[in-house]
Structure formats: structure tokens, C-alpha cells
Amino acid sequence: MLIINKLKKSFSASEKPLLNNLELTLNSAESVSIQGASGCGKSTLLSLIAGFDRPDSGDIFIDNLSITKRTNNAHDIDGFRKNKLGIVFQSFNLFDCFNAWDNIAFTARLKGNYDKGYQQALMQQLGIVALSKKPLSQLSGGEQQRCAIARALVHRPSLVLADEPTGNLDETTSESVADLLYQTCKNTNTALVVVTHSSDVAKRADRVMRLHKGVLENAESEETLVTTTM
């Protein structure tokens, strides 16, 4: 579903590559969490997968289609993201002028596959049906993040990218939102990549990895998880 081949990225010809022949394969309904020291390239990797930036070399395939080759064409890459990707931002990125329902519906309406019943079911899974008509100003941080998760899934993407999805939440809310994110992606057969500094959030993934010296390494042990967040 997601295949990354020999990905390289640097920001200066004189520097060592931030990502150096990085590889990753992810199946539908599978989740992977990525940890690593600040500045190691985690957000850069998500940006490359989303097509916001281009690698120096290598390729990224989503549903057997190359996203890397589309980044030269703004219209093409926008359409690719709209059809294939859901993105959960750390800062929520919801629209203040919309209520909860319309915020969630936005991506599906834009894609043209809006399904009221499917949105209702997603919101039911996430426990936010009662919030439908509420303006954002009346929602807590946790409620807004649940809306952001629903918006990322409502257009039936193949892959969801989540950048520090619980970074702005308290510990209790963080655990609840993380559980819902992983489980909802599993239920909808959606692949999930989570970048997080939280070992508690990371260990919920099917695979736990660390970005170190430009490549992804398995980081399954609790000791490794603690080390990567220090």
C-alpha cells in the first residue's frame, strides 16, 4: 500500500543526507509509529510522503502510484492528496467558521464522495455525534482532535499521516485520542503513519520504528522507546 524506496533528502550539498536510502513498506490497515530525536527528519519524511516536498532521489508509491513523480505538477499532486491521503495535524487545522459537522465533511465534499451515513458512523466511533452542530469555540482540545481524525478519514483515504496527533493534549485525553486513531484506521482498512515523541502513543502501533542516521530501525523494546524520546 505504501512503499518507500531508497529515499534520500538533504538541504545542503555540504551536509550529510537527513534521509539516506530510507525504506519502508506498509500494508492496508497496518500502522507504524516513528520516533527519533528532534531534527532527525521525522517531519521531513511526512512532508515527502504527502508530496509537500521532493526527495533528492528515491520514490514513494501509494496504491502502486508514484507520488514523487507528481510533485512537479501542482494540480496533479493536489488531486493525489485529495484522493489518497488523510492528514491529522498537530494543531488540528480546523475551520473556525464551520461547526464540527461541516469541518469533518469538508474533505469528502471537496473530493466528491460525501456520504452522510459514513460520516455519522465515523463520528459515532469517535464519540462526537453530539457535537455536530457546535462551533469550534465550544469544543475542547480533545474534541477538536477527534474531529480532525474524522475529517482525515471521511473521504476514505488509503493512507493517514499523523504528525504529533496528541502533542497538544493532556495525558488522559492523549491516550483516548490515540486509541481512537489507531482503532478507527484499523476498522476502515486504512494504513497509518504516526510521528510522535510519546512512547505511550508509539507503542499502540503494529510496528514501532526509530528514525536514526537517515534510516528507519525497529524500536520494539520499551528501553529503546524511552531512549528515543529523551
Does residue 143 form part of some domain? yes
- 180 found inside a domain: yes
* Torsion angles phi and psi, residue 68, rounded to 5: -60, -40
C-alpha closest to that of 148 among 88, 212, 75, 84? 88
CB–CB of 228/36 below 8 Å?
yes
| In a domain? residue 172 | yes
Report whether pLDDT(35) > 80: yes
Q: pLDDT tens across 98-109, in order? A: 999 999 999 999
Q: Is the pLDDT of residue 127 over 60?
A: yes
Instruction: Supply the CATH number for residue 220's domain.
Output: 3.40.50.300
The pLDDT tens digits of the residues spanning 192-211 come to 999 999 999 999 999 999 99
Q: Total structural domains in the chain?
A: 1
Does 198 fall in a domain? yes
Structure confidence at residue 116 as a pLDDT band (50, 70, 90):
very high
Whether the model pTM is above 0.75:
yes
Residue 14 lies in a domain: no
Asked if the structure places residue 125 within a domain, the reply is yes
Which domain does 37 fall in, by range? Answer: 31-51+85-228
- pLDDT higher than threshold 70 for residue 227: no
Asked whether the predicted pLDDT for residue 230 surpasses 60, the reply is no
pLDDT at position 220: 62
Residue 7 pLDDT > 60, yes or no? yes
What is the Cα–Cα distance from 52 to 50, expressed in whole angstroms?
6
Q: Is 10 part of any domain? A: no
CA atoms of 136 and 68, how far apart (whole Å): 35
